[in-house]
């Protein structure tokens, strides 16, 4: 199992890996250190951190041109319906 994981590590886009690891770390820090305090501050209203992180990720990807400059794959246009 580990051999398969580390065998394909050389094919990994490092920008995508760094962004993914960063997002996981931010969400874990939020869950462990911030979520309870923020919910208490907002008087029981839960802050949609996951949705916020998705929006920030979209903004960072677009703002830095990750698709064109670093070959980060993006979903593109999503059809409705």
Domains of the chain, by residue range, sit at: 13-69
How many C-beta neighbours within 10 Å does residue 66 have?
Answer: 19
How far apart, in Å, are the Cα atoms of 72 and each of 16, 56, 67, 75?
6, 16, 5, 10
Residue spans of the chain under pLDDT 50 = none
Q: pTM score, two decimals?
A: 0.75
| Phi and psi based region of residue 43 (left: phi greater than 0; alpha: psi -120 to 50; beta: remaining) | left
How far lies 42's CA from each of 4, 21, 30, 32, 38, in Å?
45, 28, 15, 17, 6
The whole-number pLDDT of residue 23 equals 94
């Amino acid at each position: 199992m580990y051999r398969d994981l580390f065998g394909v590590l050389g094919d990994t886009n490092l920008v995508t890996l760094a962004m993914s690891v960063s997002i996981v770390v931010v969400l874990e820090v939020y869950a462990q250190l911030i979520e309870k305090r923020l919910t208490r501050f907002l008087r029981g209203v839960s802050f949609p951190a996951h949705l916020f992180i998705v929006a920030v990720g979209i903004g960072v990807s677009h703002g830095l041109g990750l698709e064109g400059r670093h070959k980060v794959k993006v979903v593109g246009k999503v059809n409705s319906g």
